[in-house]
């Protein structure tokens, strides 16, 4: 993804230099731009809220994930891919956010409120992401 995708989701975007911008943070009631965005030469997009909002919350507020901050990888099928584990704290934060989505859907259903198509679709994404985290961690679903 290029920074343009993220920038198109934000308010009061202002270029602050080559490959860098500021904008209002979508994760909190931001009166003045406190979010900094930078696109590195290798295509990786860096995001930081000066009010210390969690990056997952910032991305989630605009419907993006951490994987959206990285350019697509070119896979050379002749070379065995290198496996790099994710930092446990990052995985737990991501799973916690997806669990919050599941909890919100469960609360709606428990209160007799039907889930709309968009809510059902987001619930399926949350379940898929939780399962992907378990698989990446090597946790067997049945034991």
**Residue 136, CA distances (Å) to 33, 35, 45, 110 in order:** 36, 30, 23, 31
List Cα–Cα distances, 139 to 13, 88, 98, 131, 143, in angstroms: 41, 13, 17, 9, 8
Per-residue model confidence (pLDDT) at position 88: 73
Spans of all domains in the chain:
3-69, 88-136
Alpha helical stretches, state H, 78-140: 88-110, 117-136
Pick 100 or 73 by higher pLDDT: 100
Residues 48 and 18 sit within 8 Å (Cβ to Cβ): no
Q: Say whether pTM exceeds 0.75.
A: no
pLDDT tens-digit series, residues 102-123: 999 999 999 999 999 999 999 9
Give the per-residue pLDDT at 98.
92
Q: What is the pLDDT of residue 54?
A: 92
The residues pairing with 15 across neighbouring beta strands, listed in sequence order, are 21
Residue-wise pLDDT tens digits, 17-70: 999 999 999 999 988 899 999 999 888 999 999 999 999 999 999 999 888 888
């Amino acid at each position: 993804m290029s920074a343009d995708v993220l920038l198109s989701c934000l308010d009061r975007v202002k270029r602050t230099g080559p490959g860098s911008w500021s904008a209002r943070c979508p994760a909190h009631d931001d009166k003045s731009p406190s979010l900094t965005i930078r696109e590195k030469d290798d295509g990786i997009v860096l995001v930081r809220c000066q009010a210390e909002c969690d990056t997952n919350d910032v991305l989630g507020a605009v419907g993006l994930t951490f994987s959206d901050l990285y350019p697509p990888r070119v896979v050379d099928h002749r070379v065995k891919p290198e496996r790099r584990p994710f930092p446990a704290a990052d995985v737990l934060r991501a799973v916690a956010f997806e669990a919050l989505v599941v909890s919100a859907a469960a609360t709606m259903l428990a209160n007799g409120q039907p889930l709309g198509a968009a809510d059902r679709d987001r619930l399926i994404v949350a379940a898929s992401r939780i399962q992907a985290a378990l698989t990446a961690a090597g946790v067997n679903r049945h034991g």
